[in-house]
Amino acid sequence: MNAEAKPFKEFVYRYSKNFAGVFGFILLVVLILLALIIPFTTLDPEVTDVNNRYLTFNITDSNGVHHILGTDHLGRDLW
């Protein structure tokens, strides 16, 4: 058991001293978390609402839905 733990500890020790390694690991973790979380927080891009067309960024529409990047010509959410 100790023989298996030693290579892992050495790996962690070496990469904890390397800025590029730590930065790359953090970036990878953030991208994985975003890939898992974002599909649950966004609206369906195919739903149209022509009453809320061409909304600018960071606006709440008449239905109470917040559009981070606004809407397009069919009222679809851009985020």
- Structure pTM? 0.54
**Contact between 67 and 75 (Cβ < 8 Å):** no
Residue 8 to residue 75: CA distance in whole angstroms? 52
**Section 60-68 average pLDDT:** 84
* pLDDT given at position 33: 97
49 Rama sector, left if φ>0, alpha if ψ -120 to 50, beta otherwise: beta
Q: Is the pLDDT of residue 65 over 90?
A: no
Nearest to 50 by CA among 59, 64, 61: 61
